[in-house]
Amino acid sequence: MATQNPPAKRVKREEYRRKVQAQQESTDGSAIKMPQKKFFRQRAHANPFSDHRLEYPISPAHMDWSSHYPAFVDPDTSKTNLSGGRKLTKEVEVVDIGCGFGGLMVGLAPLLPDTLMVGMEIRISVLEYLSSRIHALRSQQQCLKNKAANPSSTEPQDVSTQPENTESTPAPAPANDDEIGTEKLFPGNFENITAIRSNTMKFLPNFFGHHQLSKIFICFPDPHFKARKHKARIISESLNSEYAFVLRPGGLLYTITDVEEYHHWVLRHFLHGEQPEGGPAPAASSKDLFERVSEEELALDPCVRVMKFETEESKKVTRNKGNKYVAVFRRKADPEWPA
Amino acid sequence: MTGLQHPFQCLRYVNRQSAGQSDILIATAGRNLYSYDASSGQRLDVWPQPVDANVEDNAEDKSSDAAPASESQGPPEKRRKLSSPSEEQKDAKSEANPKGSNKEASNSWTNIPLVTVAHGKYVVIMTSEDKCVRVLSLDNEGKLQQLNARTMPKKLSALTLTPDENNILTGDKFGDVYTFPLIPSGEYVKVQAPAKPYEPSATNLTVHTKRNLESLEQQMRQAALSKTNQAERVVLNFEHQVIIGHVSLLTELISVTRPADSTVGKRNYILTADRDEHIRVSRGVPQAHVIEQFCFGHTSFVSSLCVPSFESKVLVSGGGDNYLLVWDWLENQILQKVQLPGAEGETTVRGIWDVSLEPTTDNADPVKAIFVALEGSSQLLYYTLESDNTITHQDTLQLSGNVLELVGLDSRGSILVAVDTLRQSDSTSAWKSSSQPPLEAFRLSSGKWAPVEEDSMVIKINSEGTSNLPTTIEEKQQKELNDSMYNLGNLRKRGDSDE
C-alpha cells in the first residue's frame, strides 16, 4: 500500500469520487451503489488547532438542517431559521463526535428511527465517504420499499450489491461492512442520520444550543499518545464544560476506547478522584456536572452494544483481539448559584 | 524633548480619595511601569529602578539568559531516537535552568502590555516576553515594589481580577483561563505524584502497523533507559487553577457583576472572547465551569469586550469586523449592530472604553460615554448609551497620533488618551522623525469633547516624557516594536491551510 505510486492512486480516487458524485445527482430511481472505503481513506489524525477551511453556522439558530434531513422538513414553508433555511419538525439531539466512517450512525439509525442524529468528522475524505454512504443507504431503502410495494417490477437484482469492476486494478474484496441496508428494510430509512464536517473542539456550540442534546458519543478518539499532544485530546475538563452546555440534564455522554491509559484519562477528567478522608473538598470543576452510569444500566442500553460492536474501529479492535473500555456519564443539573 | 520615546501602552487611574490619599495615575511605556501624582503630574516612581547606563545598554541584547523558567516549562522535549540500548547519552540539558521564579531577570522583557490595579494598593502587570505576572505594592507615596512574580505557561492576552479583587484572572494565547490569589497564601507545595516509571500508553493491542510497532519498541527502550528523566517538570510552580478553556486563542477576558434584582441575587460572571468569533458567558469563580451562554454574531475574531459600569446588562463588543455589536449578553440577544468606518477585512477594534460623568455645571445630565478606537487610527469614536440600551455616535475626536489607550478621569469630567509617539498618524509601520507628547486630555463641554490645553498634570507628564529609545534603531527592531504594539491584525484568518 505504502509503496504504491501516490499520483496514480490520487487519480483513481478522484475518478471514483466523481463517479459517485454523478451517480448521486442522477435521479433515475435506481438504487445507488455503496461507496468503497478504500477510495476515501485518510490519515487518522487532524490538527484540531489549525483553522482548516471549515464551514459552520454563525449560531445554532442559523444552522440549516433541511438539506440534511429532507424527510423531517417542516411542511409549513413559512417557518424558517435565521439564515432563511426551512425548519425541521424536531431538533437534532444525538451527536457522534469524530464519527469516522459512520458505523455508529448507521447502527443507531434503525434503533432510534425518530431521533435526529448527526456525525461530526474533521477529515474531509472520510466525511465524503459517510455522506455518500448515507445517500446510498437511503436510496437503497427506497428501492426496496418500491419493490415490496410493486413485486412485479423487473429491476435488475444485482445493481446494488455488485461492485463495479471497470477499473484496471484487481477486484476489491466485497465491501462487507455495508451489507447492512442492502437487502433488508430498516425502520427510519436512514432518513434520521447525517454527517457534517466540523472541528467540534472549536465549533460545537455553533451547531447546538443550550441543553439541546440527549446523547453525545465519543468513540475511539485519537489517543494522542505523546504527552506533548495530550492537549489535543477531545476529552478535557474545559471541553467537558462545553459538552455539559449542549447536553441536557439527564443526557448521556458515551465514551469507548481501546487504550487503557486513555480510559483512565477519561475517568480522571469526568470524575473526582478518591478524596482523602477529612481532607478538603475537591476544587469545583466540570466534574461536578457529570456522574458515571452504572454497569447494570449500561447492560440494558442498546446504544452501548452498537458502540462496542458496530463501529468500524470496534470491529478492527475485535479483529486484533484488543480490549474495549466503556465509560458513560450522565449530565447532572447545574449547581445552585452561590448565595 | 530629544530623540524618540516610548508611548504609553497602558493607563490606569487609581482613585484613593476614599482612603484619604491623593489619586495616582499608573502607566506603562516600553519596559517600565510609572506612577504619577494625578493632580500635579509629578512622577512618583519608576519600576524597575533604572540601573546605570552601561548595564542598560547591555540589556538590549536580551533573550540569551532571559528565557528562564518558562523554557523548562514548555512541553516535554522530544525524545531522541535510540538505535540500541547501548548508545545512551546523558541528557545534560534537562538539568539546566533550575532558575527560581522569584529571581529577577531584569532584562527579560521589552514591554508591559497588561496592567490592572487591586484594592488601590496593588498593581498587577504582565511583562511580555517572560510571560510573568508580577504583583507590586503601591504605597502611600506611590512607590512601587515587587511582591511576587509568577511565570505563566503561555503569553497572556488578558489580565483582570475577580470582583472581590483578591484573585487574579488571566487568559492566555492557548485559550486557558487561570485564577490564582493576588497574594499567595504561604508556601506552595506542589502535590508530588510518586514518580511513576514511564509506561507508553500504546500497547501492541492498540498499534499494529510495522512502523507504529517499531516506535513503540523505541519508547520501551527509552523507558528502560531514562529513569533519570522522570523527575516531574516544574510547571506553574504556585497555587493556581484552570477554570475555563477555549480551543482557540483567547483575546479578552472580563469579570462582571450583575447587581441583585427582583428575581435573583447578585451574580458574578466571566466573559471571554476568542479568535473563532466566540463570546462565552461563564459563571464567576468558583462555578466558572458552568457555561451560561454564547453570544453569536461576530464573523471575525473578537478583540474587545466592554460591559459599562453604568449598565451591566449591556455588552459592547468589537474585533475584526467593521461593526460593533451591542448585546443583552445574558440572553445572546443583539440589540444593535453599529457600523464602523473602514472596509470589511481591514477595520480592527483596538479598544472600547466606558466613561461615566456625574452632572456638572457644564453638563446637566449624567454622561454615559462609550469610546472606541480602531487599530492604527488617530481618531477616537465617541458614543453615548441611550435609555433603550443602544449607542449613538456623537462625535469623532481627532488626535495627534494613533490612539493606544484611554482612561476616564470621572471626578474631573475629562479623559486622558495615550497616543502613539513613534508611528505616524494612521500608520502602524511608518515612523516619525521625532517624538510627540504621549498624552492628550479632553474635557466635555456643552456636549463636545474639547482638548484641554492647560492641564497641569498632562503638561508635567509630557514634559518629563518616558524612556528614550536607543538613538540608532535598526529596521528589525523597529518591526519588533511595531509588532508588539499592533498585533491584532495577526488574528485574522487567512484560510489557506487545510489537509
CA–CA dist A230, A259 (Å, integer): 14
- Give the number of beta-carbon pairs within 8 Å between A and B: 114
CA–CA dist A217, A304 (Å, integer): 10
Q: Does B183 contact chain A (CB < 8 Å)?
A: no
Mean pLDDT of B323-340: 95
Across the interface, whether the CB atoms of A259 and B206 are under 8 A apart is answered: yes
CA–CA dist A201, A221 (Å, integer): 12
Chain A CB contacts of B214 below 8 Å: none
User: Which grid coordinates belong to B398?
Assistant: 481627532
pLDDT tens for residues B268-298?
999 999 999 999 999 998 999 999 999 999 9
Higher confidence at residue B361 or residue B411?
B411
pLDDT tens for residues B162-221?
999 999 999 999 999 999 999 988 766 665 555 566 677 777 777 778 888 888 888 777
- Listed in sequence order, the residues at least 6 apart from A168 whose beta carbon sits closer than 8 Å to its beta carbon are none
Q: Does A212 contact chain B (CB < 8 Å)?
A: no
User: Residue B32's beta-bridge partner residues?
Assistant: B29
Three-state DSSP at B134 gives strand
The structure's pTM equals 0.84
If contacts are CB pairs under 8 Å, which of residues 133-192 in chain A contact chain B?
none
> Where is B136: in which H helix or E strand?
strand B132-138
Across the interface, whether the CB atoms of A48 and B247 are under 8 A apart is answered: yes
Mean pLDDT of B322-341: 95
Question: Is the pLDDT confidence value at A16 over 90?
Answer: no
Q: Does B190 contact chain A (CB < 8 Å)?
A: no
B101 falls in which pLDDT band (50, 70, 90)? Answer: very low
Question: Is the pLDDT confidence value at A263 over 60?
Answer: yes
Report pLDDT for B51: 66
B434-450 as b/e, with b when 16 or more CB fall inside 10 Å? ebbbbbbbbbbeeeebe
CA B25 vs CA B147, B403, B409: distances in Å: 20, 18, 10
CA–CA dist A121, A47 (Å, integer): 12
Report pLDDT for A113: 93
Q: Does A289 contact chain B (CB < 8 Å)?
A: yes
> Taking the CB of residue A315, how many other CB atoms lie within 10 A of it?
14
B401 falls in which pLDDT band (50, 70, 90)? Answer: very high
Cα separation of the two ends of chain A: 63
A158 falls in which pLDDT band (50, 70, 90)? Answer: very low
Question: Which one of B201, B244, B248 has the shortest CB-CB distance to A259?
Answer: B201
Mean pLDDT comparison of A38-42, A331-335, B18-22, B91-95, highest-scoring range: A331-335
Higher confidence at residue B231 or residue A149?
A149
Q: What is the mean pLDDT of chain A?
A: 84
- Short-list B23, B17, B3, CA closest to B416: B23
Report pLDDT for B195: 57
Question: Is the pLDDT confidence value at B53 over 80?
Answer: no
- Give percent of chain B above pLDDT 70: 82
Report pLDDT for B106: 53
Tell me which chain A residue has its CA closest to the CA of residue B241. A283
* Choice among A36-40, B342-346, B428-432, B460-464 with the minimum mean pLDDT: A36-40
Mean pLDDT of B27-34: 93
Query: What secondary structure, in 3-state letters, does B94-119 show?
Result: HHCCCCCCCCCCCCCCCCCCEEEEEC
User: Which grid coordinates belong to A96?
Assistant: 457522534
Mean pLDDT of B439-465: 88
**Is residue B191 exposed (0-12), middle (13-18) or buried (19+ Cβ within 10 Å)?**
exposed
CA B238 vs CA A65, B102, B176, B179: distances in Å: 48, 11, 16, 11
Report pLDDT for B196: 62
- Listed in sequence order, the residues at least 6 apart from B52 whose beta carbon sits closer than 8 Å to its beta carbon are none
> Taking the CB of residue A266, how many other CB atoms lie within 10 A of it?
25
* Choice among B78-82, B199-203, B245-249, B254-258 with the minimum mean pLDDT: B78-82
Report pLDDT for B288: 94
Mean pLDDT of A265-293: 86
Mean pLDDT of B465-493: 85
Report pLDDT for A242: 96
CA–CA dist A233, A256 (Å, integer): 14
The per-residue DSSP string of B143-159 comes to -EEEEEEEE-SS-EEEE
Q: Chain-centre distance of CA B369, in angstroms?
A: 23
Question: Is the pLDDT confidence value at B322 over 90?
Answer: yes
Report long-range pairs for A228-235 (Cβ below 8 Å, ≥24 apart). A228/B75, A228/B76, A228/B78, A230/A265, A231/B174, A232/A47, A232/A48, A232/A49, A233/A262, A233/A265, A234/A48, A234/A97, A234/A98, A234/A200, A234/A201, A235/A265, A235/A266, A235/A269, A235/A270
Higher confidence at residue A194 or residue A274?
A194
Strand order in the sheet with B439-445: B403-409, B414-419, B439-445, B448-451
The per-residue DSSP string of B386-429 comes to -TTS-EEEEEEEE-SS-EEEEEEEGGGTEEEEEE-SSBPTT-SS
Q: Does A297 contact chain B (CB < 8 Å)?
A: no
pLDDT tens for residues B379-394?
999 999 999 999 999 9
If contacts are CB pairs under 8 Å, which of residues 47-86 in chain A contact chain B?
47-53, 58-62
β-strand pairing of B391-398 with B379-385: antiparallel
Peptide bond into A75 cis (omega under 30): no
Question: Is the pLDDT confidence value at B57 over 60?
Answer: no
Report pLDDT for A229: 84
Please tell me the distance in Å from A101's CA to the nearest CA on chain B: 18
Report pLDDT for B87: 40
Across the interface, whether the CB atoms of B76 and A285 are under 8 A apart is answered: no
Report pLDDT for B194: 54
Tell me the helix, strand and coil percentages in chain B, rounded to 5. Answer: 15, 35, 50
B227 falls in which pLDDT band (50, 70, 90)? Answer: low
Mean pLDDT of B126-155: 92
Backbone angles phi, psi at A155, to 5 degrees: -65, 140
CA–CA dist B274, B102 (Å, integer): 31
Question: Is the pLDDT confidence value at B133 over 70?
Answer: yes
CA–CA dist A21, A132 (Å, integer): 8
Question: Is the pLDDT confidence value at A162 over 50?
Answer: no
Tell me which chain A residue has its CA closest to the CA of residue B281. A245
Please tell me the distance in Å from A210's CA to the nearest CA on chain B: 8
Q: What is the mean pLDDT of chain B?
A: 83
User: Residue B27's beta-bridge partner residues?
Assistant: B11, B34
Across the interface, whether the CB atoms of B289 and A241 are under 8 A apart is answered: yes
CB B298 within 8 A of CB B321: yes
Chain A CB contacts of B78 below 8 Å: 228
Backbone angles phi, psi at A51, to 5 degrees: -75, -30
- Short-list B409, B469, B460, CA closest to B439: B460
- Short-list B412, B362, B359, B353, CA closest to B383: B353
Report pLDDT for B21: 85
- Listed in sequence order, the residues at least 6 apart from B342 whose beta carbon sits closer than 8 Å to its beta carbon are B322, B374
Chain B CB contacts of A268 below 8 Å: none
Question: Is the pLDDT confidence value at A24 over 80?
Answer: no
- Measure the CA angle with vertex A297, ends A336 and A254; round to 5°: 70
Chain A CB contacts of B499 below 8 Å: 43, 46-47, 50, 52
CB B213 within 8 A of CB B125: no
Across the interface, whether the CB atoms of B244 and A241 are under 8 A apart is answered: yes
Across the interface, whether the CB atoms of A59 and B499 are under 8 A apart is answered: no
Q: Does B313 contact chain A (CB < 8 Å)?
A: no
β-strand pairing of B367-374 with B32-37: unpaired
Residue A155 known to bind ligand: no
Question: Is the pLDDT confidence value at B6 over 80?
Answer: yes
Report pLDDT for B103: 42
User: Which grid coordinates belong to B233?
Assistant: 517538570
Report pLDDT for B90: 39
B64 falls in which pLDDT band (50, 70, 90)? Answer: very low
A142 falls in which pLDDT band (50, 70, 90)? Answer: confident
Question: Is the pLDDT confidence value at B126 over 70?
Answer: yes
Report pLDDT for A112: 94
CB B112 within 8 A of CB B146: no
> Where is A242: in which H helix or E strand?
helix A237-246
Across the interface, whether the CB atoms of B286 and A53 are under 8 A apart is answered: no
A260 falls in which pLDDT band (50, 70, 90)? Answer: very high
Mean pLDDT of A174-199: 75
Report pLDDT for B114: 95
CB B452 within 8 A of CB B458: yes
Residue A200 known to bind ligand: yes
Residue A122 known to bind ligand: yes
pLDDT tens for residues A104-140?
999 999 999 999 999 999 998 899 999 999 998 888 8
CA B174 vs CA A266, B110, B124, B281: distances in Å: 21, 22, 21, 18
Report pLDDT for A282: 81
Single-letter code of the amino acid located at A306: V
User: Which grid coordinates belong to B343?
Assistant: 472596509
Higher confidence at residue B254 or residue B225?
B254
